[in-house]
Chains A and B, each alone.
Chain A
Amino acid sequence: GQQVMQIPQYQHVQEGEDFTTYCNSSTTLSNIQWYKQRPGGHPVFLIQLVKSGEVKKQKRLTFQFGEAKKNSSLHITATQTTDVGTYFCRFGNEKLTFGTGTRLTIIP
């Protein structure tokens, strides 16, 4: 079956450092979505990637979809305390499977 690995599981960074999380699939994906969940909150949609090699930016966040559509990354430049939370990827089909998430904590 389709498997999605999300790495790392945890990441601790100093405020101002960069952060990257990766989703890797064993099969080609139709699309991928990214969500953020603040501590104690619910997942909130960030972005969707559909095209091979697609890159999208939201302020300090850069999202990338691999050329083979089997992997994706989320990169945050110069982290701030507001970036704290867990970041999930979610890939397509009717069962909408989520990755295990990367929990980001920031040391002020």
Chain B
Amino acid sequence: NAGVTQTPKFQVLKTGQSMTLQCAQDMNHEYMSWYRQDPGMGLRLIHYSVGAGITDQGEVPNGYNVSRSTTEDFPLRLLSAAPSQTSVYFCASSTLFHTGPDYYEQYFGPGTRLTVT
């Protein structure tokens, strides 16, 4: 198993540009999520999904879109990049079952380091 994969590893954008961060997992996990990590701020949840076709907002969703057309993939779209979106982005997944994702280990991808100039 490759686990959780993210592409690209590094990206530089200019203000106003759009792009998609890719995330894929091969563990058949129902739950997938996106976090951003900024110095001193910990990990903040952007969007999450509990299954194909179902997404919801996290703590900091503004400026980002997601979709979940398959179990495996959960791309994050930046609509119009801003310098405030400079951060490290992590995708994570876990199994779900009936007790909810909070009872299961979160598997993280290696991250994408994004700089917006």
Contacts and interface: CB of A to CB of B under 8 A. Distances in A.
Contacts of A20: none
B106 A93 contact: no
A91 B108 CA distance: 16
A72 B46 CA distance: 25
A59 interface: no
Majority secondary structure, A binding face: loop
Interface residues of A, number: 26
Interface residues of B, number: 26
A42 B33 contact: no
Contacts of B50: 94
A48 B90 CA distance: 21
Contacts, number: 64
B102 A45 contact: no
B105 A45 contact: yes
A97 B111 CA distance: 18
Nearest to A91: B102
Given A92-B100, A92-B102, A100-B40, 11 more contacts: A33-B105, A35-B106, A42-B108, A42-B110, A45-B107, A92-B103, A94-B102, A96-B48, A96-B106, A98-B43, A99-B42
